[in-house]
A and B are shown apart, each in its own frame.
Chain A
Amino acid sequence: MSNFSFIAETDWRCACCNKNLQASKVNVEYMGSVFNVELMVCPDCGFVLIPEDLALGKMLQVEQLLEDK
């Protein structure tokens, strides 16, 4: 399903492992739902970079759609 991705060259490095981030498929659990997307990930510890445009874009839209009472 996930053939669109948030893979992009980035200057960010993993602070713990000091490794360049690599593209990887990850399961993002958000607001109780799991989404499979491609993101930049630390190859050693698996720490994931959520880019600003994802956080303020689709994730915000998901949050607004799932707003409960």
Chain B
Amino acid sequence: MNEKSSSDILSSTKSICPVCLKRLSAVREKHGDDVYLVKKCFEHGEFKTIIWRGPLSFTSWKRPKKASSPQHTFTKSERGCPHDCGLCPSHGQHTCTALIEITTRCNLRCKVCFADAGSNTAADPSLDKIAFFYDRLMQASGSCNVQLSGGEPTVRDDLADIVRLGREKGFSFLQLNTNGIRLAEDEAYAKSLKDAGLSSVFLQFDGLSDEVHLALRGRALSEIKEMAIVNCALAGLGVVLVPTIVPGVNTQELAGIIDYAARFSPTVRGVHFQPVSYFGRYPEPPLDSARITLPEILMHIEEQTNGEIPAHLFSPPSCEHALCSFHANFLVQEDHSLKGITSWQQNCCAATEKKGKIPAAVVGREKSVSFTARQWSAPSACKCTPAEVPENEDELDFFLRRAKTHTFSISGMAFQDAWNLDIERLQGCCIHVVSPEGNLIPFCAYNLTSSQGRGLHRAGGGQ
């Protein structure tokens, strides 16, 4: 690193060695339009990983927050991030969404699985244990959004009881992270989850073609996904389509996925893209060509929609670190086209923040909790048949009527692995997994593995 000119280095942060997981200094280094995270372990050498690619400005993509300490921490800050997670007092953001893993079993064998599901034979946590998870979460964070995850949560026959328990414990937005197979098979099952208090389904949805599903999930799933959406519509559950984006597999389908999702509005509430990240055993670092960065997804969306969904509509997040995600909100019009309805660049919050008034992270967290719960749930005014158009309706009336049901979000979140882990991002993380001990671990730290597949926090890991 000492041969590089200082003009290449945009900023500094901390990371870890992908081999030994020791904390390292790191820099964000610019080469043309591209930005890399560069770090050097004296024992294992230099690592340079793409984190931003393309003409969108890296340095303009920012949304600073003042760190907000968690309400209650379960661990001490001793060895340094990411080794103290629990959360520790050095963490800079409260929980917006907590993941509770209710099983490690799965009914698919995916090539890409951050949870390494299916290979772990641990018994499912009991309802009492899950009650403990909810209690610890409430103690640590207060009420927040909850995602029931796995493994594949629907392999449990008592999932409705788990949802009901979460509502009884005071969590008002519960979302199911699922591949949709059981929802597709059984309409009554979707209804039973809705009746138990489930708000939303986070549906793994990698593309429109079976080639994509076969490549990533090993099974043709197109018809299953659609039937899952139909059954959620009948049950009154909101659905978010969640594609894992892998270069060379489904990057060409982004606009197609958005268009498909909008046709199922208002049941489908939005699309949430997740660029592939690399957990598990990788003796050789994953190639940069096997990664896709957030600005590339925005550029692909703009290109594939012929400019109808331009990159400038999208904003960095108010809750998590700016480099972790993007989002924009839309109205689904009667012809199913999308009309952008907010532009953060133009609104008053942006103006305030640009004047140097940096908000506390918890302010963004509060906004994000309520926005996500509202946008990703089925609209309360949802009617499956078009509402009667009132007489003398003006454009404001029309907009109000339509927006009560047909708002739509497009968002994306980039997870971090051992090669691109940026500890500044990790400390601002708001997506936390409840560990078997009942601690809260930032999602990327929880799933982090060394190049040899050694976990940092997940059960069975080496530390």
Partner of A67, one of B364, B371, B396: B371
CB-based contact B344/A33 at 8 Å: no
Partner of B404, one of A28, A31, A65: A65
Cα-based distance from A31 to B395 in the complex (angstroms):
14
Cα-based distance from A62 to B340 in the complex (angstroms):
14
Residues of chain A within 8 A (CB-CB) of B267 are: none
CB-based contact B394/A69 at 8 Å: no
Residues of chain A within 8 A (CB-CB) of B347 are: 31-32, 68
CB-based contact A4/B393 at 8 Å: yes
Question: B-facing mask of A27-51, CB < 8 A → 1, else 0?
Answer: 0100111011110000000000000
Cα-based distance from A63 to B398 in the complex (angstroms):
14
Number of contacting residues on A, CB 8 A? 22
Residues of chain B within 8 A (CB-CB) of A35 are: 394-396, 399
Q: Is B327 an interface residue (CB 8 A)?
A: yes
Name B's interface SS.
mixed
Question: B-facing mask of A4-26, CB < 8 A → 1, else 0?
Answer: 11000000000000000000000
CB-based contact A58/B329 at 8 Å: no
Taking the nearest CB of chain B, how far is it from the CB of A67, in angstroms?
7
Partner of A1, one of B339, B367, B394, B400: B394
Cα-based distance from A37 to B347 in the complex (angstroms):
22
Residues of chain B within 8 A (CB-CB) of A38 are: 394
Partner of B392, one of A3, A32, A58: A3
A31-B342, A32-B346, A68-B342 known; A2 vs B395 contact (CB < 8 Å) = yes
Would you list the 3 A-B pairs with minimal beta carbon distance, nearest first?
A: A69-B371, A4-B394, A35-B395
Interface residues of chain B, those whose CB is within 8 Å of chain A, are 315, 317-319, 327, 329, 331, 339-344, 346-347, 349, 364, 367-368, 371-372, 392-400, 403-404, 407
10 contacts between A and B (CB under 8 A): A3-B392, A4-B393, A28-B396, A31-B341, A32-B346, A59-B396, A68-B329, A68-B344, A69-B319, A69-B371
A62-B399, A69-B371 provided; 6 other pairs, C-beta below 8 A?
A: A32-B340, A32-B346, A61-B400, A62-B400, A65-B407, A68-B344
